[in-house]
């Protein structure tokens, strides 16, 4: 990389890992991103500036809609401008006027360098490491959706009181723990329903619903049709797509 790259990105709702040969800064603009870098856990929400030093293995997960300003910065460029201090220490929360200015960053090195100097000079409030670690909790729950998860158990895993856990979980994901769990169970159920020889009872048990009646009620509440009807429509649609010949596009 010869020159900086400035992009606004949205990260996916799954755990990913990366390592690269340049420095990186992530500035939260909306929603939330959970980042673990250099052994430090950071909740990147609006105004949080999170550093990732060149060569550091880092992991991230975004549990909902998010916007992040990402600055990919060559090591030599940062060294020449004496900006290494941005990558030493923990994340910080920047003043809102500086965040708003960051949203309007141009693509010139001079504009970027001036903003980074202001960010370095502003210091910002250092953030303590959070105890709610979604990078551990969400993959564990997704891996065992049949488990009878309760908020009390989720909170214990994070060493938080239930009320604090539920409040922080909603702030990061935009959903209550129960809403998130139902959404994930229904996503798995839709995959299982595409296997046409699997009964509704089997789908319900595999996905963590008490029984087929509870499953059907939850499914209808979210999708406005029963699981059986959804399966029938999905299989018909899949059969139609599979049956198209190579001339279908040209005849459309």
- Residue 36: which H helix or E strand, with range? strand 33-37
Mean pLDDT of the region 102-121: 89
Question: Do 210 and 139 share a domain, yes or no?
Answer: yes
Reported as a single tens digit per residue, the pLDDT across 153-162 is 999 999 999 9
Q: What is the pTM of this model?
A: 0.82
Look at residues 126, 149, 169 and tell me which one is the last residue of a structural domain. 126
Q: Which residue segment(s) compose the domain that 225 sits in?
A: 134-241
Reported as a single tens digit per residue, the pLDDT across 23-68 is 999 999 999 999 999 889 999 999 999 999 999 999 999 998 999 9
Question: Do 213 and 145 share a domain, yes or no?
Answer: yes
3-state secondary structure the chain: CCCCEEEEECCCCCCEEECCCCEEEEEEEEECEEEEECCEEEEECCCEEEEECCCCCEEEECCCCEEEEEEEECHHHHHHCCCHHHHCCCCEECCHHHHHHHHCCCCCHHHHHHHHHHHHHHCCEECCCCCCCHHHHHHHHHHCCCCCCCHHHHHHHCCCCHHHHHHHHHHHHCCCHHHHHHHHHHHHHHHHHCCCCCCHHHHHHHCCCCCHHHHHHHHHHHHCCCHHHHHHHHHHHHHHHHCCCCCHHHHC
Look at residues 70, 98, 126 and tell me which one is the last residue of a structural domain. 126
Question: Do 42 and 149 share a domain, yes or no?
Answer: no
251 lies in a domain?
A: no
How many domains does the chain contain in total?
2
246 lies in a domain?
A: no
Give the pLDDT band (50/70/90) at residue 170: very high
Question: In CATH, what number is assigned to the domain containing residue 17?
Answer: 2.60.120.810
Question: Do 144 and 173 share a domain, yes or no?
Answer: yes
Reported as a single tens digit per residue, the pLDDT across 136-150 is 999 999 999 999 999
Look at residues 96, 126, 156 and tell me which one is the last residue of a structural domain. 126
Mean pLDDT of the region 2-20: 93
Question: In CATH, what number is assigned to the domain containing residue 215?
Answer: 1.10.10.60
């Amino acid at each position: 990389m010869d020159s900086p790259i400035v992009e606004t990105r949205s990260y996916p709702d799954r755990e990913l890992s990366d390592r690269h040969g340049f420095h990186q800064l992530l500035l939260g603009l909306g929603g939330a991103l959970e980042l673990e870098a250099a052994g430090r856990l950071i909740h990147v929400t609006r105004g949080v500036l999170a550093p990732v030093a060149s060569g550091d293995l880092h992991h991230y997960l975004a549990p909902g809609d998010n916007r992040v300003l990402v600055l990919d910065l060559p090591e030599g460029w940062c060294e020449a401008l004496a900006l290494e201090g941005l990558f030493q220490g923990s994340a910080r929360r920047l003043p809102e006027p500086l965040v708003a200015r960051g949203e309007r960053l141009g693509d010139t090195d001079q504009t970027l360098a001036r903003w980074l100097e202001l960010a370095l000079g502003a210091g910002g409030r250092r953030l303590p490491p959070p105890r709610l670690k979604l990078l551990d909790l969400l993959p564990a729950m997704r891996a065992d959706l049949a488990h009878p998860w309760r908020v009390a158990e989720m909170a214990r895993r994070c060493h938080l009181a239930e009320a604090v856990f539920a409040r922080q979980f909603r702030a990061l994901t935009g959903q209550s723990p129960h809403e998130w769990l139902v959404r994930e169970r229904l996503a798995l159920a839709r995959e299982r329903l595409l296997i046409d020889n699997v009964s509704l009872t089997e789908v319900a048990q595999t996905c963590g619903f008490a029984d087929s009646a509870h499953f059907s009620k939850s499914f209808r509440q979210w999708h406005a049709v029963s699981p059986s009807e959804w399966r029938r429509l999905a299989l018909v649609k899949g059969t139609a797509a599979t049956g198209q010949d190579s001339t279908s596009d040209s005849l459309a």
